[in-house]
Amino acid sequence: MEVDLSRFTTGGFERGAGPVKEAMWLVVSRVLFLWCPVCLSPLKRTVLRWFGASVGRGVVIKPEVKITFPWKLILGDHVWLGEECWLLNLAPITVANHVCISQRAFLCTGNHDYKSPTFDLITKPIRVEEGA
């Protein structure tokens, strides 16, 4: 079997927001989430909520955190997102209370079916349980 990428489609994949909202998120996330210090976590929490994330109390967001789609993100209370962690959430990511996602961790909800000649997109949600 040979892969034929000219036949690839995203199928029924839903980005969850329109192009304007997604473009606004790209700009805001590059400025606020990549370069701002941890002391601005309250501002980062507020901005995530503006973009549709559910964010609990006491969430700490370190610099250089990447979140693909905040509208597909649920963070419980007292979650820590470490430096350079990346939440590639093509499907929902739920992080329960009192969880630390360590620096440079990569949570990815999407992949491709390498056995399919059209390299179909596969997405599945991730849930990180309390205390992890």
| Structural domain boundaries, residue 84 | 5-128
Sheet of strand 80-81, all strands in order from the earlier edge strand to the far edge: 60-61, 80-81, 100-101
Number of folded domains that form the chain: 1
**pTM for the whole structure:** 0.93
Per-residue pLDDT of the chain (132 residues), as tens digits, is 788 888 888 878 899 999 999 999 999 999 898 888 888 999 999 999 999 999 999 999 999 999 999 999 999 999 999 999 999 999 999 999 999 999 999 999 999 988 889 999 999 999 999 999
